[in-house]
Amino acid sequence: MDDQAKTEIQLAEDRVSRDGARAEEARALIDNPMLTEALDTFDKGLYSLFLASPPGEAGLAERENLHQLQRAGRVLRTYLKRVIDNGEIAKDALLKTLAHHGVGVTDPDQVDKVV
């Protein structure tokens, strides 16, 4: 195997190591029942406040603030899911790099053993 191949494989392994660790942390957060409960309670509370807001122009600013808060919760969940996806993408990229250079790892679960 030439030096360029070794470098490409090392870079892909480093990405799996970095992004894989972040993905595990994000997965732990998403799977954490307390965080899920907190975010769900937050969403329900915002919805209750939205329903209780005055109709028409009188409640417009309040509803806009509630909408922004609700969006922040979605952004958090989306960010965590993106971190998890990036970990999977890094594993797939490593598999492709290994296959390109003739290294016989085809099972994504084996990637963790290679790194």
Tell me the average confidence (pLDDT) per consecutive run of 10 residues in the chain, 115 residues long.
90 94 96 96 96 94 96 96 96 91 69 54
The C-alpha atoms of residue 81 and residue 75 are separated, in whole angstroms, by 10
| DSSP letter assigned to residue 102 | T
- The pLDDT value recorded for residue 1 is 78
- The pLDDT value recorded for residue 106 is 58
CA-based diameter of the chain, in Å?
71
Asked if residues 103 and 25 have their Cβ atoms less than 8 Å apart, the reply is: no
Predicted model pTM: 0.77
How many CA within 13 A on the CB side of residue 17? Answer: 9
